[in-house]
Amino acid sequence: MSINVVAFACYGLSTQGWMLLVVLVMGAMGGIAGPSAQALISRQVSPSEQGTVQGAIASLQSMTGVVAPVVFTQLFGHFTGGRGPIELPGVGFLFGACCIAVATVAALRSFRRLPEPAASVSGVAAPVAVPH
């Protein structure tokens, strides 16, 4: 997720088109953060709670899909319409970088408090080495 923070900040600060092409490579690497985070979260709950957790994640993604465009267009309008303290068309990406940074810190803190998952979360016994 920290790759996404850097990528979003670079998107927001880019002033030339070629800069975006360079940042796209880094941003693509950050694309694995979502599925990886979901996998870490799903390992922390029992099989009977998987639907609840995946539903909560999908709900959060849906809410951000509704709220983010409104917030980001308002930020863009403010910082490009002459009302902001500076002209900064990439402010939405910088705000996104800040949001991801806060989410990363919160996730790291919550994962530190959780116990390690059991060897067998799915109910299937872990493989046992058999001496020959």
Is 108 a member of any domain? yes
The Cα–Cα gap between 49 and 20 comes to 41
Q: Is residue 128 part of a domain?
A: no
Length of the chain, in residues:
132
* DSSP secondary structure, 73-95, as one string: HHHHHHHHTT-SSS--TTHHHHH
pTM higher than 0.85, yes or no?
no
Structural domain boundaries enclosing 108: 1-41+90-114
Q: Is residue 34 part of a domain?
A: yes
pLDDT in tens, 28-78: 888 887 788 788 888 888 888 888 988 988 898 899 999 999 999 999 999
Domain count, the chain: 1
User: Has residue 13 been placed in a domain?
Assistant: yes
57, part of any domain: no
Question: Does position 122 have pLDDT exceeding 80, yes or no?
Answer: no
Domain-embedded: residue 10? yes
Place of tokens 């970088």: 97
Query: Is 85 contained in some domain?
Result: no
Is 78 within a domain? no
Range of weakest confidence among 66-70, 79-83, 108-112: 108-112
